[in-house]
């Protein structure tokens, strides 16, 4: 049976002149809420910024893979690392202890496209492809790149050749990548300032791995990294 009030029942009502008042929130309460919101937004921003960062590509050194004017997101977490020996160097007599770097995820690999601080001017950021890892021997002969005696298959070059100018270290013969460094080159080998010119890149200058092209929308997609086939050994 429906529970309804009949017209004859008396239903209590508020007098027409009576109003309900809510207490006004103190000013300090409003200020505290605003501060808490601002701090929360700042923390979220800092957390996201420590993992992903956006960059705009300027220049043609990564043509035809990446183009000037594109906006990309860079994964900064993937190359996160720390020095296990850093705390030990604070102890007496241990200041010369060599670094012992640990990568919880993974270090840069050959074929990765990375963003880094330009070693000759750390205020500028560059984007290149990793060609050689610590200890690798890089040699450029007749327009081709060899790593540890292996001819690299570089389809992203689309048939372009790789050369070293007369004053570059790689023009004098094989170059060995130093410890804690990598050898990087742009995909546009004829128009790229890279390790051929200014030598190997210290790993502590690496910002992160190029991850996603998000603008222009017509180019949206993952940045195309490459994995080299090292099963075929060629004699330079």
Q: φ and ψ at 149, to 5 degrees?
A: 80, 0
What region does 234 belong to: left with phi over 0, alpha with psi -120 to 50, or beta? Answer: beta
Beta-carbon contacts of residue 230 (< 8 Å; ≥ 6 apart): 150
How far apart are alpha carbons 201 and 130 in whole angstroms?
Answer: 10
Q: Distances in Å between the alpha carbon of 25 and those of 18, 32, 38, 105, 160? A: 22, 11, 19, 49, 70
Nearest to 225 by CA among 108, 54, 136, 145: 108
Q: φ and ψ at 29, to 5 degrees?
A: -70, -40
Q: Can 128 be counted among the known catalytic residues? A: yes
Q: Can 61 be counted among the known catalytic residues? A: yes
Catalytic option among 76, 128, 192, 195: 128
DSSP string, 129-177: EEEE-TT-EEEEETTEEEETTEEP--GGGTT------TTSGGGGS-EEP
Dihedral Cα 221, 53, 204, 190, nearest 10 deg: 50
Residue 184 forms beta bridges with which residues? Answer: 130
Catalytic option among 8, 10, 50, 61: 61
Tell me the catalytic residues: 61, 128
């Amino acid at each position: 049976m429906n529970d309804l009030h009949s017209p004859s029942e008396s239903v209590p009502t508020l007098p027409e002149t009576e109003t309900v008042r809510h207490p006004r929130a103190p000013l300090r309460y409003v200020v505290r809420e605003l501060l808490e919101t601002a701090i929360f937004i700042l923390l979220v921003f800092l957390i996201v910024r420590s993992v992903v960062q956006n960059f705009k590509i300027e220049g043609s050194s990564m043509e035809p893979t990446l183009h000037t004017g594109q906006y990309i997101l860079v994964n900064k977490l993937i190359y996160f690392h720390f020095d296990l020996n850093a705390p030990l160097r604070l102890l007496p007599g241990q200041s010369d202890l060599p670094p012992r770097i640990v990568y919880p995820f993974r270090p840069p690999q050959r074929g990765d496209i990375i963003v880094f601080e330009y070693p000759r001017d750390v205020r500028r950021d560059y984007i290149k492809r990793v060609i050689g890892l610590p200890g690798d021997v890089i040699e450029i002969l007749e327009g081709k790149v060899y790593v540890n005696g292996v001819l690299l298959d570089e389809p992203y070059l689309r048939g372009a050749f790789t050369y070293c100018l007369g004053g570059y270290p790689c023009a004098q013969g094989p170059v060995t990548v130093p410890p804690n460094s990598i050898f990087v080159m742009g995909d546009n080998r004829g128009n790229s300032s890279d390790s051929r010119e200014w030598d190997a890149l210290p790993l502590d200058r690496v910002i992160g791995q190029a991850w996603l092209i998000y603008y222009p929308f017509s180019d949206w997609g993952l940045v195309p990294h490459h994995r080299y086939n090292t099963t075929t050994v060629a004699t330079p």
